[in-house]
C-alpha cells in the first residue's frame, strides 16, 4: 500500500468521523414529539390497518370484517396489511411512530411499551361510549394506563390442559373436573409418566414445542408455572427475589423433568392425532382439537405448584397509532370491529373467550355448562399483574414498558432450562439482566 | 511493493492525472461504500458509547465505555458473548475448508461432457436459490428430535430399529454440527458455480500436453487444474469466510421454533440482532457489532497476508 493512499484513507476517516452529526442520535431514541393523541381528521378517507397473521381461520374472519366494512359504507376505505405473528411486535418496535398505521393490533403485554414509546394514542375520544362500556372488565383493564384507554380486544385468552378422555381412561389416570379439585404438580407429573408408560413412543405430553420457547409463547405458556409456585416475573419493579425464588427454581426443575415425555410436535398434530394424551396449550386450539376428538376432549386446568392454579390472560387488542391523522375514521372502524357479529365471527374462528359483554353472554362455548366453561371460570377470578394470591387464577403479564426485556430474558431462561440448563443459575441470570435493564432505563416511568 | 525504477525520470503531471482519473472512476463505488458501510458503521461506533433504546422517550445518555465493560467483564453478558465469538469461529473454521473443498469436488464432478449435465448442475445449485429461512424450516423437519424426524427415522430403518430418537438440535454436542451441515448444503452450490467457471477457463491443450507426458489423473489435477484455478479458489475461500461470519438466519429460525440449543449455537450476529430488536438495546448491540467488526477485519487482513493471490500471471 503506498503512503499516499494511506494518507488519504486517514483523511477520509477523520472527515467521516467529523461529519457524523451527533444530533442523529435523536433519530434512534427520544426526540419524538411527545404528542400521543391522534388527529381526529374528517372521519372519512382511507385508513391503514396492521394486524398479525394468526391462524387461517382468524385471518379469514378479519379479512371478512374488513371487506364487509368497506362495502357497508363508502366514506371510509380500510386497507389491511397482515404481518407474520412471530415478527409482528418487532415490526412495530422497529417502525418509527410517524410511519405506523391508523389502526394497529398489538399483543396485550406489549401495549405499555408502545404507550411509553408514544406509538399508541388514547382511544377514548374516538371509540363510541357504547363500545367502551360493552368491553369486559378484564379486557378493559388490560387496555388501561393512568385512567386512559389505549386498546380494546375482540377476545381474551386462557391456558388449560386438553386431555384425550379415551387415552386417560385406558391408562387409568384420574384427572380433575374443574378448578376446585385441580391436580398438584406431583400428581400431574405422575399422570404424565403413567400415560407415557402405556404409550408406544413413550411420549404423552404436548407443550407446543414446535412454537419454540424463546419467544412470547414461552412467557405466556409457562409464566403460570412461576405464578403458581408463588413467584412472579417482576415484583415492585424488581425481578431478583421474585423470579429466582427457591419455590420457582424447584417448579422449573419439575418442568424440566417433563421433557423426556414431551412429543416435539413437529407436525403440530401430536394431540389431534392421538399421539399424546395431554396438551398444554391455550383456548385457540379448541376448534382443531374438538374437531379431531369430538366427545373425547376434556378441558383441564394447569397443575398447581402450591400457590393455586394459574393461567395467563390478555390477548391481542386494537389501538390507534399515535401518528394517525384520521382518528375519527379509525374509531368508526374499531366500533364496527367490536360489534357482536365480528367478535362472534372471530371468537368462533379461534375459540377465544369474547372480550365484549354481549358477545360473551351469547357464547355457546363459554357459558356455564358449555365445553369451555373452565376458561370463563378462570377469567372470572382475575389477579391483575401484581396481586397474585392463592385464590385468583387469571394473571396479567407485567404491565410495564420494560416488558420486552422481561419476556426476552424470561423466555431465554425457560428455553435454556428446557434444554437442560440449571434452573437456579438460569433464573438468577435472567433476574439480574432484567434488573440491570430497568436501572438503565430509570424504571421505565411512563411520562 | 517496490517496482523497478523507470529508466527516464517520470513526469509528475500525467501520473497526477492518472490518479485523478482513478479517483473519478472509483467514485460511484466509493460513494456507495461510504453511504452504506462507512456511515452506518460510524453511527454504530458513536451509538456504542451511549445508552440508547429503540423508540425510548428518554434522551440517549452518554455511557462512556460501559457497554464495552459489560461486554467483557459482566459475567452475565460476557459469558454468552465470548461463547458466541467462539461459536462463530468454530463455524468459520469448519465451514470454510469443508465448503470450499466440497464445492471443488462437485465442480470437478460436474465439469464434463455428459448428457443432461445442465440438469445435474441445476440440481446442485438449487438450494442456493432457496432463502436460508426456508431451508432452515425444511431442515427442522429433517432434524426433528422425535422418532418421526426424517433423519431419525432413516437411521432407525438403516440400523434395523436400533436407533431411537436423537435430539440433533437440542443436544449441545450436535447443535452446531447440525447448523454447519445445513449451511454447507445450502451454500455449496454457489461456490461450486464459481469454481466451475474457473475450471472451464483452463485450456484443454494443457491437459492434452500433460497426457502426452504420461501424467496420471492425480498429477494432472495437481499440476494443471490446481494452478489453473488458484486465484478462483482463493477468492472462494475468502468469500466463504466472510459469509461464514455472517451466519444468522438459520440459527434464529431454529432457536425460535425448532428446539435448537441457544447457547451452543448463539452467534455474534444473532446476539446483536436479539439485543437490538428483542430487548430494544441499541447501544449494547452497537458495541457488539463494533467489537465483531474489528475482529473480522483483523482476521481478514491476516488471511490476505497468508494467501495472497498471484498477480504474476
pLDDT in tens, A179-229: 999 999 999 999 999 999 998 888 999 999 988 898 889 999 999 999 999
Q: Write the Ramachandran bin of B243: left for phi over 0, alpha for psi from -120 to 50, otherwise beta.
A: alpha
| Closest CA in chain A for residue B63 | A440
pLDDT at A28: 41
Q: Is the dihedral of CA B262, B267, B269, B271 positive or negative?
A: positive
pLDDT at B112: 82
Q: Has residue A9 got a pLDDT over 60?
A: no
pLDDT at A417: 95
Which neighbouring-strand residues pair with B103?
A: none
Residue A12: pLDDT band by 50, 70, 90 thresholds?
A: very low
Residue A340: pLDDT band by 50, 70, 90 thresholds?
A: very high
The closest CB to that of A263, out of B34, B39, B146, belongs to B146
> What pLDDT digit, counting tens, does each position of A222-269 carry?
999 999 999 999 998 899 999 999 999 999 999 999 999 999 888 889
pLDDT at B170: 87
DSSP B154-167: HHHHHTTT------
Share of chain B above pLDDT 70, in %: 93
Which whole number is the average pLDDT over B50-64?
A: 86
> What pLDDT digit, counting tens, does each position of A307-331 carry?
999 999 889 999 999 999 999 999 9
Distance of alpha carbon B136 from alpha carbon B130, whole angstroms: 10
**Which pTM was predicted?**
0.82
Which whole number is the average pLDDT over A103-109?
A: 93
- Nearest alpha carbon to residue A162 among A268, A262, A278: A278
Which whole number is the average pLDDT over B179-183?
A: 94
In the block, residue with C-alpha cell 491476516:
B302
- Nearest alpha carbon to residue A289 among A271, A265, A262, A268: A271
B257 to chain A, any CB pair closer than 8 A? The answer is yes
Which neighbouring-strand residues pair with A311?
A: A394
In Å, how far is A423's CA from the nearest CA of chain B?
A: 15
A24 to chain B, any CB pair closer than 8 A? The answer is yes
Helix residue ranges per DSSP H, A147-245: 165-171, 185-197, 216-228
> What pLDDT digit, counting tens, does each position of A388-401 carry?
999 999 998 998 99
Hey, are the CB atoms on B146 and A214 less than 8 Å from each other?
no
Helix (H, G, I), strand (E, B) or coil at B115: coil
- Burial (CB count <10 Å: 0-12, 13-18, 19+), residue A397: buried
In Å, how far is B229's CA from the nearest CA of chain A?
A: 26
> What pLDDT digit, counting tens, does each position of B234-282 carry?
889 888 988 889 899 999 989 887 788 888 999 999 999 999 988 889 9
Hey, are the CB atoms on B56 and A437 less than 8 Å from each other?
no
pLDDT at B8: 55
Amino acid at each position: 500500500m503506498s503512503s499516499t493512499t494511506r494518507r488519504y484513507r486517514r483523511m477520509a476517516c477523520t472527515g467521516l468521523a467529523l461529519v457524523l452529526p451527533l444530533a442523529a442520535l435523536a433519530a434512534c431514541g427520544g426526540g419524538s414529539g411527545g404528542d400521543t393523541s391522534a388527529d381526529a381528521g374528517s372521519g372519512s378517507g382511507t385508513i391503514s390497518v396492521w394486524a398479525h397473521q394468526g391462524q387461517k381461520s382468524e385471518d379469514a374472519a378479519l379479512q371478512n370484517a374488513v371487506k364487509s366494512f368497506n362495502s357497508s359504507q363508502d366514506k371510509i376505505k380500510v386497507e389491511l396489511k397482515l404481518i407474520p405473528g412471530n415478527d409482528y411486535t418487532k415490526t412495530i418496535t422497529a417502525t418509527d411512530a410517524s410511519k405506523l398505521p391508523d389502526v394497529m393490533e398489538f399483543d396485550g403485554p406489549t401495549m405499555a411499551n408502545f404507550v411509553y414509546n408514544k406509538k399508541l394514542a388514547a382511544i377514548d375520544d374516538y371509540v363510541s361510549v357504547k363500545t367502551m362500556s360493552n368491553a369486559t372488565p378484564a379486557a378493559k383493564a388490560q387496555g388501561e394506563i393512568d385512567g386512559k384507554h389505549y386498546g380494546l380486544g375482540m377476545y381474551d385468552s386462557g391456558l388449560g390442559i386438553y386431555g384425550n378422555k379415551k387415552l386417560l381412561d385406558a391408562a387409568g389416570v384420574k384427572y380433575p373436573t374443574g378448578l376446585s379439585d385441580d391436580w398438584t404438580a406431583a400428581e400431574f407429573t405422575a399422570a404424565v409418566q403413567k400415560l407415557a408408560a402405556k404409550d408406544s413412543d413413550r411420549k404423552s405430553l404436548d407443550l407446543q414445542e414446535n412454537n419454540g420457547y424463546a419467544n412470547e409463547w414461552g412467557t405466556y405458556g409457562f409464566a403460570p408455572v412461576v405464578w403458581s409456585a408463588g413467584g412472579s416475573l417482576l415484583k415492585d419493579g424488581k425481578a431478583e427475589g421474585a423470579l429466582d425464588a427457591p419455590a420457582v427454581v424447584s417448579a422449573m426443575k419439575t418442568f424440566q423433568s417433563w421433557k423426556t415425555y414431551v412429543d416435539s410436535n413437529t407436525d403440530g398434530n401430536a394431540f389431534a392425532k392421538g399421539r399424546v394424551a395431554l396438551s398444554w396449550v391455550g383456548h385457540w386450539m379448541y376448534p382443531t382439537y374438538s374437531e379431531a376428538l369430538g366427545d373425547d376432549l376434556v378441558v383441564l386446568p394447569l397443575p398447581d405448584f402450591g400457590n393455586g392454579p394459574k393461567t395467563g390472560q390478555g390477548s391481542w387488542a386494537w389501538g390507534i397509532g399515535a401518528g394517525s391523522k384520521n382518528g375519527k375514521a379509525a374509531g368508526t372502524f374499531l366500533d364496527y370491529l367490536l360489534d357482536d357479529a365480528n367478535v362472534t365471527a372471530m371468537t368462533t374462528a379461534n375459540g377465544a373467550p369474547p372480550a365484549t359483554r354481549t358477545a360473551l353472554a351469547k357464547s355457546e362455548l363459554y357459558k356455564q355448562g358449555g365445553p369451555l366453561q373452565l376458561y370463563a371460570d378462570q377469567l372470572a377470578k382475575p389477579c391483575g399483574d401484581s396481586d397474585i394470591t392463592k385464590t385468583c387464577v387469571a394473571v396479567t403479564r407485567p404491565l410495564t414498558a420494560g416488558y420486552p426485556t422481561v419476556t426476552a430474558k424470561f423466555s431465554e431462561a425457560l428455553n435454556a432450562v428446557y434444554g437442560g440448563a440449571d434452573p437456579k443459575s438460569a433464573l438468577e441470570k435472567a433476574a439480574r439482566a432484567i434488573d440491570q435493564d430497568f436501572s438503565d432505563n430509570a424504571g421505565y416511568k411512563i411520562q | 511493493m517496490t517496482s523497478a525504477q523507470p529508466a527516464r525520470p517520470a513526469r509528475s503531471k500525467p501520473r497526477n492525472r492518472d490518479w485523478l482519473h482513478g479517483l473519478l472512476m472509483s467514485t460511484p463505488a466509493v460513494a456507495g461504500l461510504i453511504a452504506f458501510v462507512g456511515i452506518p458503521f460510524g453511527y454504530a461506533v458513536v451509538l456504542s458509547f451511549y445508552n440508547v433504546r429503540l423508540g425510548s422517550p428518554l434522551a440517549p445518555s452518554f455511557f462512556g465505555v460501559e457497554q464495552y465493560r459489560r461486554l467483557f467483564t459482566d459475567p452475565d453478558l460476557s459469558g454468552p458473548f465470548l461463547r458466541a465469538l467462539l461459536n462463530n469461529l468454530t463455524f468459520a473454521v469448519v465451514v470454510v475448508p469443508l465448503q470450499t473443498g466440497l464445492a471443488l469436488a462437485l465442480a470437478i464432478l460436474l465439469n464434463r461432457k455428459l448428457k443432461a449435465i445442465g440438469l445435474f448442475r441445476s440440481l446442485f445449485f438449487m438450494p442456493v436459490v432457496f432463502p436460508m429461512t426456508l431451508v432452515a424450516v425444511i431442515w427442522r423437519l429433517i432434524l426433528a428430535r422425535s422418532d418421526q424426524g426424517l433423519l431419525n427415522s432413516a437411521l432407525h430403518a438403516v440400523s434395523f430399529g436400533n436407533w431411537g430418537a436423537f435430539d440433533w438440535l437440542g443436544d449441545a454436542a450436535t447443535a452446531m454440527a447440525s447448523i454447519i451441515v445445513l449451511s454447507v448444503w445450502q451454500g455449496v452450490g454457489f461456490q461450486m458455480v464459481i469454481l466451475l467457471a474457473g475450471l472451464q477457463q483452463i485450456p484443454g491443450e494443457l491437459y492434452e500436453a500433460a497426457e502426452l507426458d504420461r501424467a496420471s489423473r492425480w498429477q494432472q489435477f495437481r499440476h494443471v487444474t490446481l494452478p489453473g484455478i488458484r486465484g478462483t479458489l482463493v477468492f472462494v475461500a475468502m468469500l466463504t469466510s466472510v459469509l461464514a461470519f455472517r451466519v444468522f438466519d438459520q440459527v434464529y429460525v431454529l432457536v425460535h421454533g425448532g428446539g435448537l440449543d441457544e447457547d451452543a449455537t448463539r452467534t455474534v450476529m444473532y446476539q446483536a440482532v436479539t439485543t437490538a430488536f428483542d430487548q430494544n438495546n441499541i447501544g449494547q448491540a452497537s458495541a457488539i457489532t463494533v467489537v465483531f467488526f474489528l475482529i473480522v477485519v483483523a482476521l481478514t487482513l491476516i488471511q490476505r497476508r497468508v494467501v495472497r493471490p498471484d498477480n504474476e500471471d
